Amino acid sequence: MPTDQQEPTWPLKGGCHCGSVRFEVRLKGGFEQARRCNCSYCAMRGAVALTANMDDFAIVKGREALTLYTFNTRATQHYFCSCCGIYTHHRRRSHPGEYGINAACLDGVGPFDFETLPVYDGQHHTKDGGSDGIVGMLRLDKN
């Protein structure tokens, strides 16, 4: 769970920076499933991803404002607000029945609320014969 956070009330609410997109979500595994990925795309994006089953995620405002980005195999679908450009969520290639949720889009949660995060090996994806392993840990030491 993020530091300095109480147990969340479900569903959590979130959205993009400009407010055009709003959603509700129930996290699978709560904040304990927070992670980063080292694939070429995620390494540039830098987001902390949380996990939700597709049935536990709902866009409540602004579905028409979402735009889609895919690359390479086109299996992973990355969604962004077309107004402010913020990545809100993605449909996972490794687990197509799940979404990765941008932790920074959840109300009251930020990427620096997590003291330690595992970094998954997206450069050697399981769908390409790689392992589903952790290549390292990121740690935030607050002053």
- For 77-133, write each residue's pLDDT tens digit: 999 999 999 999 999 888 889 999 999 999 999 999 999 999 988 887 666 677 768
pLDDT, one tens digit per residue, over 21-40 is 999 999 999 999 999 999 88
Contacting residues for 24 by C-beta, under 8 A, at least 6 apart: 11, 12, 13, 14, 57, 58, 60
What does pTM read for this prediction? 0.88
Residue carrying structure tokens 């969604």: 79
Residue 42 DSSP symbol = H
How many other CB atoms sit within 10 Å of the CB of residue 12? 21
Dist. CA 139–CA 106, nearest whole Å: 21
Where is average pLDDT lowest: 42-51, 67-76, 112-121, 129-138? 129-138
pLDDT confidence of residue 64: 98
pLDDT confidence of residue 17: 98
pLDDT exceeds 60 at position 20:
yes
pLDDT confidence of residue 89: 98
Architecture of the domain whose range is 12-123: Beta Complex (2.170)
pLDDT confidence of residue 74: 80
Structural domain spans, the chain: 12-123
Question: DSSP characters for 84-121?
Answer: T--EEEEE-SS-TTEEEEEGGGBTT--GGG-SEEEEE-
